[in-house]
Structure 1
Amino acid sequence: MTKPVIETTAMIAGMRPELQDAEFAFVVWPHDKAWPEGTRASCMEAEGLSLIVPIDAAPAGAISMKCITLRVHSSLEGVGLTAAVSDALAQSRIPANMVAGYHHDHVYVPSDLAEKAMDVLLDLQQGAGE
């Protein structure tokens, strides 16, 4: 197990974005219904239970998203990685939904913009390593 990275520039320089093949959707899910196989995350909100599910488990018309995992083992106490990633994507007009796990951060972007998002994140990473 690697030691978590806490310094901002080191997190960005080492983020190693990795585009996942699968497509997902953010949905509101009934409390009494079993979660679909392959559910990636959940969030209990005042309005209901939100899940990130495989696109084929989502209702028709759901927005297809792809997940980019930032492979750096970022510290939960680290400051600036999420801000840098979301700012870079915003400057390129790419919507981004961030989900933090214990070991890695995950960025969900519209499927049709996923390759462009990868280019933006690789440029950001390269710039931090210079």
Structure 2
Amino acid sequence: MSGETDLGRLLAGLEPRLDPVEYGFETAAEPPPVGKVFALIREEEGLTVIRPGIGWARITLGVNSSLEAVGLTARVAAALAERGIAANLVAGYHHDHLFVPWEDRQEALAVLRRLHSASRAVSPDPASSAQRRG
């Protein structure tokens, strides 16, 4: 499995990026043409489609996280929850994507940037750590 699993390095490499496109969640009986669809999620009740629409902002976490990483979702969700910001996470193979209410997007981005900065301040640079050990 590729990607980072160390929580300290994940948080230090967070690098959240706000997509300027507004997204919507909807249901569909059949898969729509892929076109501008960001994600399709198949559930027993039907398909959830995430694509440009109304209500949600997408923030991509720039760190290449492993699907087996432990704690990243919890730390990010807790930081946003402290500010009363709802967050829905969609994990891709390389990155995690948070969907937050459109009106909270700038505050959510600021929260994630603070989490990133705070983690960088306490996490040593992996390259310099390797040099010290070597």
Shorter-chain TM range is 0.7 to 0.9
Aligned to 2:106, the other structure's residue is in SS state: helix
Residue in structure 1 matched with residue 103 of structure 2 by the alignment? 112
The runs of 4+ residues in structure 1 deviating greater than 6 Å are: none
* Structure 2: gaps (5+ residues): 122-134
- Amino acid paired to 1:111: W
- Listed one character per residue, the Cα deviations across residues 58-111 of structure 1 (whole Å, up to 9, x for unaligned) are xxxxx5101000010011111111111111001110010000000000000111
In the alignment, the residues of structure 2 paired with residue 12 and residue 119 of structure 1 have an alpha-carbon distance, to the nearest angstrom, of 14
- Amino acid paired to 2:59: I
In the alignment, the residues of structure 1 paired with residue 32 and residue 101 of structure 2 have an alpha-carbon distance, to the nearest angstrom, of 26
For the pair shown, which has the larger CA radius of gyration, 1 or 2?
2
Q: In the TM superposition, what are the counterparts of 1:88-107 in structure 2 within 5 Å?
A: 88-107=79-98
In the alignment, the residues of structure 2 paired with residue 20 and residue 85 of structure 1 have an alpha-carbon distance, to the nearest angstrom, of 18
* Structure 1: gaps (5+ residues): 56-62
Aligned residues: 120
Aligned to 2:57, the other structure's residue is in SS state: strand
In the alignment, the residues of structure 2 paired with residue 42 and residue 34 of structure 1 have an alpha-carbon distance, to the nearest angstrom, of 9
Residue in structure 2 matched with residue 127 of structure 1 by the alignment? 118
TM-score, reference length from structure 1? 0.87
